[in-house]
Amino acid sequence: MAVKTRELKLDIARIGTVSALLTQPDHARACYVLAHGAGADMRHSFMAKVAEGLAGRGIATLRFNFPYMENKQGRPDQPAVAHAAIRAAVEEAARLCLGMTLVAGGKSFGGRMTSQAQSKAPLPGVKGLAFLGFPLHAAKKPSSERAEHLSGIAIPMLFLQGTRDALADLGHLKPIIKALGAKATLHEVEGGDHSFAVLKKSGRTNDDALAEVVDTLAAWIDGI
């Protein structure tokens, strides 16, 4: 299966331009708009491995930088700016991936900002949201406040969470997902941390765990 990665520029109205990457296999059946986490950009190895893994399973990805990362600023963008960047990326993915199932989400901060954007006004054409480690709370400070907006989302949601994730205590997350009902699915990656890294004593490698994440994500997309 031939796979091409294209360098793109996204214009965000009244904010500026950011870089993006479209990784697209031949005959892709879906496209995942993949937003990066707070501390690493779209080219981070985690992002690249997810894009490569999905491409091998017939799914395209559109990665992009948030403006603060593009401009090498330390603090993440205000939510309104992040939401605008996500909307620009979704519009570009819809334009470049005509006829494909469109889903959105991302790693940690990127996934949370995508869910906020969707809760404020549905992202055009997006059929589902997938979170690669939803950051429910700060480390060692379990709470549920960051999930309050999720009840306003009507499309399917997939939560991929490591059981050792310090930013998502499963004791807090599971009741939230249960309350969301049939639209929400939780997949636990046994022994995985916030980036799905596993301990050596588990007998699995980090690549094994990430393959589980990508397999689960691809199957979920196909089920939408």
Ranges under pLDDT 70 in the chain: none
Distance in angstroms (rounded) separating the CA atoms of residues 49 and 52? 5
Quote the pLDDT of residue 173.
96
Helix (H) or strand (E) holding 63: strand 59-64
Quote the pLDDT of residue 74.
86
Contact 160, 132 (CB under 8 A): yes
pLDDT digits 0-9 by tens, 110-121: 999 999 999 999
Give phi and psi for 71, each to the nearest 5: -95, 10
Contact 128, 153 (CB under 8 A): no
Q: Tokens for 33, please give them.
A: 């708009």
Q: Tokens for 70, please give them.
A: 């593009």
Quote the pLDDT of residue 140.
85
Give phi and psi for 4, each to the nearest 5: -120, 140
CATH topology of domain 3-223: Rossmann fold (3.40.50)
Quote the pLDDT of residue 1.
79
